[in-house]
Structure 1
């Protein structure tokens, strides 16, 4: 059912597009190829156990953690522990954490 100026199925098309984008980002994030012996960011040696456990690893644990934090901060998607922002009329309500903290 279309609403206003939207075409039939427009909402589902947007949902499908969002899911497709997330799948593409996840696939891109997967390592592939041979792992590096030294971190591309700081130059420290990457332990053999890490190189064997993760195919195509390019960074040490510390640098990868920092990169993950930066990516999460700029991500369009929120994890369960990140603040949520809800639209309420013309204003926004930011919560301190999970939905269950406000809506038990």
Structure 2
């Protein structure tokens, strides 16, 4: 049930849109093309099992984990920019 000027289902639409955005962000980060044999950051060999499991891989596990940690989660924001769209 929406309140104020928001229509019914507005909160769910906002949640769905946020989930869709995060899925798009994750898919955009997936590697493409041919895998490298050595990490592009540290030049350590990338194990064959990793190259087979994740085609297009460019980093070793340690460097990928560090990059993921530095990227962090996406921050949420108020999509409509109005007081009525705030989740209560």
Shorter-normalised TM range: 0.5 to 0.7
CA root-mean-square deviation: 2.0
1:56 to partner: Cα distance: 0.8
Q: Secondary structure at the match of 1:38?
A: coil
Q: Which has the higher contact order (CA 8 A, sep 6+)?
A: 2
The equivalent of 1:68 in structure 2 is 68
TM-score of the pair, normalised by structure 1: 0.59
Distance between the aligned counterparts of 1:32 and 1:61, measured in 2?
17
Which stretches of structure 1, 4 residues or longer, exceed 6 Å deviation after superposition? none
Q: How many residues align structurally?
A: 75
Unmatched 5+ residue regions in structure 1?
Answer: 78-104
Deviations 1:55-87 (A, max 9, x none): 11010111011112223xx3147xxxxxxxxxx
The equivalent of 2:15 in structure 1 is 15
Q: For residues 21-100 of structure 1, what are the structure 2 equivalents within 5 Å? A: 21-71=21-71, 74-76=72-74
Distance between the aligned counterparts of 2:2 and 2:59, measured in 1?
48
